[in-house]
């Protein structure tokens, strides 16, 4: 007999492998196939295994439950609820972004200076985002290397990345070696954006490490947009300094 279950808490291929290994070790379980995208586990059993038994062999991080029959109408409802849940998860990111924008405007609105606004925005962006990464410096590198190409190739890069952000933030706010800070921003965020784009196209469900691991944010288009805004600002400012 074959049953399909919902499994919550999985964020990466490592989680998928862990769930498959744990469930496969159970007696009377023949084959376990986990789909990370749909958050489901299909289990072929010799005899029926209770859900509580399945849950007992899994880490507390994962919750397994029976998959209920759905029709067109409640499928639409589920999709809507998932979108609402995603927006709720991203609320801290939007809130922080809003605070940074407002602070940058207040610093430069009288008289208005668009160049200073962009430098202050980038400086505050780096300072705030590095703060959240440094809250869990031990856990950040592992999450970061799930999508950043350079962090995958050079694990040490994940450890120093928060300090790179902190340094760039101070350079922008103190107006120190701005050209160097702009070039580094284009390189660093350019590499990360490539990884984010690949993750989005592959529809892989992973955790975004932009605010470290303290806040469990899903990898979404919002991550791509925030990186793109920083890249556009850095390109504009670098173009202005070169033209001058």
**pLDDT bracket for residue 212 (50, 70, 90):** confident
Angle between the N-to-C axes of helices 72-108 and 221-243, in degrees from 0 to 180, rounded to the nearest 10: 30
d(CA 225, CA 244): 29
Under the banding of pLDDT at 50, 70 and 90, the label for residue 233 is very high
Name residue, tokens 């120093």.
160
- Confidence check: pLDDT of 211 > 80: no
Is the model more confident about 68 or about 73?
68
Residue pointed to by tokens 């955790």: 207
Classify 2-66 by CATH class: alpha beta
The 10s digit of each residue's pLDDT in 1-34 is 788 899 988 887 778 888 888 898 888 888 888 8
pLDDT of residue 86: 61
Q: CA 133, CA 229: separation in Å to the nearest integer?
A: 20
pLDDT of residue 72: 43
pTM of the predicted protein model: 0.65
Give me the residues paired with residue 34 across strands: 41
**Residues with Cβ within 8 Å of residue 190, at least 6 apart in sequence:** 231
Q: What confidence score (pLDDT) does residue 205 get?
A: 65
Please tell me the predicted confidence (pLDDT) of residue 74.
Answer: 45
Task: Work out the average pLDDT over 116-140.
Answer: 92
The boundaries of every CATH 3.30.70.100 domain in the chain are: 2-66
pLDDT digits (tens, 9 = 90+) for 141-197: 888 888 899 999 999 999 999 999 999 999 999 999 999 999 999 999 999 999 988
Tell me what percent of the residues of the chain surpass a pLDDT of 90.
38
Confidence (pLDDT) at 204: 64
Residue 73 has pLDDT above 50, yes or no: no
Question: Is 76 a residue whose pLDDT tops 50?
Answer: no
């Amino acid at each position: 007999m074959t049953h399909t279950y919902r499994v919550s808490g999985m964020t990466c291929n490592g989680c998928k492998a862990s769930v498959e290994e744990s469930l496969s070790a159970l007696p009377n379980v023949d084959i376990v196939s986990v789909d990370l995208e749909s958050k489901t586990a299909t289990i072929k059993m010799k005899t029926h295994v209770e859900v509580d038994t399945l849950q007992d062999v899994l880490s507390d991080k994962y919750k397994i439950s029976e998959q209920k029959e759905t029709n067109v109408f409640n499928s639409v409802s589920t999709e809507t609820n998932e979108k609402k849940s995603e927006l709720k998860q991203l609320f801290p990111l939007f809130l922080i972004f809003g605070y940074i924008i407002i602070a940058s405007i207040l610093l430069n609105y009288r008289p208005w200076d668009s160049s200073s606004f962009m430098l202050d925005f980038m400086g505050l962006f780096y300072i705030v985002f590095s703060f959240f990464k440094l809250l869990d410096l031990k856990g950040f590198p592992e999450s970061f290397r799930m999508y950043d190409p350079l962090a995958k190739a050079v694990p040490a890069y994940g450890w120093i990345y928060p300090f790179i952000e902190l340094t760039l933030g101070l350079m922008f706010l103190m107006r120190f070696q701005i050209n160097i800070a702009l070039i580094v921003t284009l390189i660093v965020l350019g590499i990360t954006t490539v990884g984010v784009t690949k993750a989005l196209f592959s529809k892989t469900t992973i955790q975004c490490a932009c605010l470290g691991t303290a806040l469990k944010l899903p990898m979404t288009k919002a991550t791509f947009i925030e990186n793109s805004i920083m890249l556009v600002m850095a390109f504009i400012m670098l173009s202005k300094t070169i033209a001058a």
